[in-house]
Amino acid sequence: MPFKSQELYHYYYQSGAAFAVASTDPKDDCIALANLDEYALRSTVLIAGIHYCWNAGNLQAYDSTFLFHKIESIRSINTWLEASNSQPFVYVRQILTICLAEACFGNLRTAETHLNGIMSILDSREHSLDAWGNLNDVEVELTNRYLLLTSSFVFALRSRLEGFILLRAAQGIKYDNSRSSSEALKLMKLWHGMEHRGLDTRLKAMRLFPHFFSIPRVISLPNMIDALPIIDSLKVITEAVDQFRTNPTAENLDRIWNNGGPTKLMLVLVTSHISSFTKDKGTEGSPGKGQPSQPPLRSSWSGIAATVQLYMHSVLNITNGGEPIECRLLSHILSLMKQDIDQTNDHLSGDHGLLYQSLWFLKVFTGVLALTGIQHNQIAIGTHPARHCVTGSCTVDLKWLHEWFCNRARAWSLVTKITTWKNVKSVLAKTAWPAASLQNGEEHAANIWAEVIS
């Protein structure tokens, strides 16, 4: 623990109490669990640096400490890439931590480069998920979850930054066209103070990130979670997007990010991840003041997290700066959604309740829209491999996934006997769906639905 590592670690540990997220049993604290793994511990120190920087406004006191652990992480990753014969998930999670750090310090392009590098590892034969089948399934699940959390975080941060730049331009404040990391960090510092208790909520969530670094003390796979708190946050974001589309001003665009919905969503995703590994069956729906308790809405964590990411990108069109998701990453996210949909086929009929049916169909139709969006961006599906990906650097074929999601949507229509877009939209709205027109007009989704059932 060279330089001021112990001091930074101690700050991060103490912040658990300051932000009311410390475990009642110190042995169960996520930081204590990270101590069992040298790689998880290094990632914890890196996140501690981000936490301190966002909390204090700069990293000046721990610059050398953070840089040391970042360089050591990169060195260990490069050593593993040369050998490529052990602990693949550990190193993938380390790359994701570096990716998070770059994004939080304003180096968004570098963060995207790290994401692309991870997908290159996943895309290679020797590191494919099939080749990793003999490893602990919890290890696979943990890595998938951290990938979903990190990519969602980076895509949202990018759009939030661009939206804030537009707001400042509308206010007559010039912005450095170089978009340097130092300038981006200054803007982040500004918006931290604009959202009521927003920074506190983000720091609270960040204090819990080490739960994604090392395997929890469980033997079996994680439990299903209650998706209601996640859906509630998604509704808040959707309502803000509706207001922006009704009155598209820079202020309303910024309000999408500053109304508390996205920040609360991040915290709920992190806490629901933790609850899925507890001894009970996850958190129950939390009633409002004076309201009766709602029964939980069960979903796998990866299934709902993947759906949320694609819903915000392909339905609300508010993340990743409006650019398509890199095709290998999109394929991976959709594969996680597909697995979740397959495991909950009994929700198709609505026997478990209309809300379960709505959530199941939301996952399906969001997948359809995400894949159709690739086609509308003039990326050929099922033709030359080099054209399957927006970067032209992978051989992902999305045609079969597109057909699979369309087939599930058709099956839902046959079972429910719902064929008109008006009624389809009504079902989707039971969970979350925009009331205002989509980016390409309301007919965009209606036309896609018409193509699906034709």
Contact 133, 184 (CB under 8 A): no
Give the C-alpha separation, 114 to 133, whole Å.
24
Residues 43 and 195 sit within 8 Å (Cβ to Cβ)? no
Question: What is the pLDDT, as a whole number, of residue 388?
Answer: 40
Residue 374 is predicted with a pLDDT of 65
Rg (CA), the chain: 22
Residue 298 DSSP label: E
pLDDT for the residue numbered 132: 53
Instruction: Note the pLDDT of residue 390.
Output: 45
Q: What angle do CA 306, 375, 151 make, to 5 degrees?
A: 30
Q: Which residue has the higher pLDDT, 383 or 14?
A: 14
Residue 321 confidence (pLDDT): 87
Q: E strands along 192-314, which residues?
A: 225-226, 298-299
The fraction of the chain above a pLDDT of 70, given in percent, is: 84
Q: What pLDDT does residue 107 have?
A: 92
pLDDT grade for 236, boundaries at 50, 70 and 90: very high
Structure tokens at 38: 């040298």
> Does residue 194 carry a pLDDT above 90?
no
The answer to whether residue 313 scores a pLDDT higher than 90 is: yes
Q: Read off the pTM.
A: 0.90
At 345 the pLDDT is: 84
Least reliable range by pLDDT among 157-161, 341-345, 438-442: 438-442
pLDDT for the residue 442: 61
Residues with Cβ within 8 Å of residue 125, at least 6 apart in sequence: 131
